[in-house]
Structure 1
Amino acid sequence: MLFQCGLVKLLFATETFAMGVNMPARTVIFDSDRKFDGTAVRNLYPAEYTQMAGRAGRRGLDENGTVILICKSEKVPDIPSLQGMMLGKPMRLESQFKLTYAMILNLLRVERVSVVDMMSHSYREFHSQQKLPENMIKLREVQKEFAQLP
């Protein structure tokens, strides 16, 4: 709340802060181009960089946003690895949404949102709708093959 009101001038946050929360900032500072992923230290993926750097610049308030990368070690990242992180093709997103019985019961308790409405606004449904034309063509091909069976 303090951040949203503009009372926090500098915030050191983890990657989690940038994921799925609408908290834009004028400037985003990376203290490294690498991260520990639970197993090993690796370079940031393009999608991770884009997600966090994309918070720089507040819509309607700032004309531009600023992204700063601090190089703390003696080894400055080379240009190709920085270009890969900043301009590389992001990994394909897969929905992790799973409808559970508890979720259905909670939705039934809240009259404003129906299960159907929630499902229709999910990323999984959006992705399914994008694939629909391709899947319909495949379905027709299979139906033709099926119709030709003895």
Structure 2
Amino acid sequence: MSAFETRLAELGVTLPNAPAPAANYVPYVQVGDLVHVSGQISTQDGAFLTGKLGDDMSADEGAAAARSCAIALLAQVKAACGGDLDRLQRVVKLVGFVNSTADFGEQSIVINGASDFMVEALGDAGRHARSAVSAASLPFGVAVEIEGIFQIK
């Protein structure tokens, strides 16, 4: 078990198999030492985690949805690394999309669910640049979608 996976286990997290793409795209592309991971959508217990922030979902619930996206992102990175998560050097950037009402303004709090998880799980390697933006809707009605760029060895 990799050092990162040991830390994840301490947090009670086991990475799932990397989710398959839902349309005509690949889950990740490696260019040099960077892995660009396609947007991962919020799930819970194998089902889509749906909702609209500012309507039927709180910022805390949205942060939990963002955390689920972060776990899926790491599953994709592990797949890109041939199963060896210790090849991960750092999270470079996350871009988070929040399914929210026009007047909802706490996108950054929602995406903190992913950012906080990356730092908790990966330490300094989890610190990253980030964007958190509102979306009028997301695929399948999910609450959050997050894409990422990761540096690997």
TM-score in terms of structure 1 length: 0.28
Select the structure that is richer in strand.
2
More relative contact order, 1 or 2 (CA 8 Å, 6+ apart): 2
